[in-house]
Structure 1
Amino acid sequence: MPRSVVRIGDRTSHGGVVVTGDQTLNVFGQAAARKGDMTTCPKCKGSYPIVEGTRSTGSSQWLALEGMRTACGATLIASQHFWQEADATGASSTVPADAGSNAYRGRFQVFDDASREPLSGQRYRVTTIEGTPFEGETDADGYTAWTETQSPDMLTLELLARNREETP
């Protein structure tokens, strides 16, 4: 699912601000933020790098997208919603499961549309590219469980009704 590109001046969930970006990549008047660019954090009282990113289309840059994290755990909040990129994995992050295996793993973080806060207790189904489904509920920080695959292929997320009473 495409997510908005984050830029210099965009906020974080801790009340911080993105302060560095790629001056050669202009997104509606502001430099795009990348993995490794810096943010301020008044909650944690410091400056922290963005630790997640996705490969930009036709570039070697790792763009920071809305919902990705900083080193202090803050979530990035985009101020523009016109330029979006699909996360290369479809997940918040995909990393080798461990150094000794060929497995990959990915997960999603779910946010409330209105409050932009992580959504805990949300039922979901994650499906691998092979069609294998995994169901569960998001944790206290809105994350799904890690899903392991043998290749860095796409995962898809489907949000399910929270309980039987909410089912139409």
Structure 2
Amino acid sequence: MLAHVKRNLQQMADYSGGGHTAYIGKHLCLLTNAIFHTRHRFEQGELDDSLYLRRMHRLQKLFDHWLSKGTYAMVKWYRGRCKLLLKHRESLWVFLKKTSIPLTNNEAERCIRGFVIQRKIRFGTTSDAGDKFRSRIHTLIETCTNRGLSACQC
């Protein structure tokens, strides 16, 4: 999830109008990079639990501070993104409560990539029911594959 946030913040930092909006975006990007860097150092055993949590909580406070500033950005689109992130800030930091939770959902996205490409190539289905069925059956197949089972046994 944090990877998607990082991409959105990078768009804010690269805002062609520059000014205060881009300034806030650049600070948020720097903080996001620091969050990833700190997590990677923790996962490599370079930081113990207490130091990792102290650093992350400090980064969290700074991140929230700059998100609050972003709620006053001149560009409505970015202002709305900052408000939404603040609204859902608890879920943004859930990885701090349990270290087994990854910073990104890249693994999950890689799992469904083939199905998404297939859907785009075949132009979806002709009904909502068909779309729901397809997504559910693909979820079932992927879950069985991850558990080492045959999809026929599930």
**If the length of structure 2 is used for normalisation, what is the TM-score?**
0.26
More helix by share: 2
**If the length of structure 1 is used for normalisation, what is the TM-score?**
0.24
Greater Rg over alpha carbons, structure: 2
More strand by share: 1
